[in-house]
Amino acid sequence: MKTRSLVSALTAAAIALTLAGCSSSSAGSDDGTLRVVASTDVYGDIATTIGGDAVHVISLMTDPAQDPHSFEASAQNQLAVSKADVVIENGGGYDDYMQTLVKGAKNNDVKVLNVVDLSGKKAVGGELNEHVWYDFPTVSTFAGALADALGAADPSKKATFEKNAAAFTEKLSALEATEADLKASYAGEGVAITEPVPLYLLDAIGLVNKTPEKFSAAIEEETDVSPVVLKDTLQLFSGHEVKLLAYNEQTTGAETEKVLAAAKAAGIPVVPVTETLPAGTHYIEWMRGNLDAVKDALAK
């Protein structure tokens, strides 16, 4: 699990000065729309889908080319949280800066949704896979909680939020049906990963992660991979022990590039994955694309 630092000392000072210049803040926008601040554009996109024109959404992490591990919040982010009706954080150590922003905002009326908490997932073996947006049941639970939060903030639109959430979860159910179909054909097949980003999706299909745990942990924590662990990982491809490599395009380095090269050299299909939305896509189509890519890789 990778924790994200909030800000450098200079940025923290800038935030303090920004808030000092605001004697008070009130949630809600001038035009009556609800203000939602999400830690990533994944949750921001879902909030827009459920809230529609009744919400104004600000997502903090939005760049698909950025390593999310290096994200630093800004004074502008802090100000947005201070005016928010609803704040969405992933939790589980993924975006700890959100808690710092919420505490610093002194916005007593804000509703904070922590998606890991909503999921009910616990650490396995002392480690929690915090990438819960790849787990469709969790996302469905979050969608319902978000509709409730928005409905509480604006009761006049509660029915609309609930209708939008129901339509969204119906599409999630279709994705789960695809997972079940793939599981019927490919359960037990081995796969490799560079990081545990897509593991919930792969697990739902019944695929077996054969990557040495020390390898993916080192990549996620940005520490060196030992030669022995790297050798064991590379042998997964030369020995054709896996059907695909799920490769996190947003966190790369010398070791992951060696793994990528080994997979390509062995003719093992590579499935690119990301932690934030690819440009120009929405959550459902993004996940549909991920499932299609996994399906194509498994069929080879």
Per-residue pLDDT of the chain (300 residues; tens, 9 = 90+): 444 443 433 344 444 434 444 433 445 556 889 999 999 999 999 999 999 999 999 999 998 777 777 788 999 999 999 999 999 999 999 999 999 999 999 999 999 999 999 999 988 777 899 999 999 999 999 999 999 999 999 999 999 999 999 999 999 999 999 999 999 999 999 999 999 999 999 999 999 999 999 999 899 888 999 999 999 999 999 999 999 999 999 888 999 999 999 999 999 999 999 999 999 999 999 999 999 999 999 999
CA 3 to chain centroid: 13
CATH-assigned architecture of domain 9-174: 3-Layer(aba) Sandwich (3.40)
Helix (H, G, I), strand (E, B) or coil at 274: coil
C-alpha 221/C-alpha 214 separation (Å) is 10
Given this model, what pLDDT does residue 127 score?
Answer: 84
What is the phi/psi pair of residue 94, to 5°?
A: -70, -40
| Residue linked to tokens 């939305």 | 277
Question: CA–CA separation, 139 vs 46, rounded Å?
Answer: 9
Position 91 scores a pLDDT of 95
Q: What CATH class does 187-299 carry? A: alpha beta
pLDDT of residue 67: 74
- Give the SS3 label for residue 248: strand
Structure tokens of 116? Answer: 């890991």
Which whole-number Å values give the CA distances from 82 to 22, 149, 232, 236, in the listed order? 10, 17, 49, 49
- The confidence score (pLDDT) of residue 123 equals 83
d(CA 259, CA 235): 10
Residue 128 tokens read as: 């929690």
What does the pLDDT read at residue 71? Answer: 84
pLDDT at 151: 99
Instruction: Count CB atoms within 10 A of the CB of residue 201.
Output: 23
CATH 3.40.50.1980 maps onto the chain at 9-174, 187-299
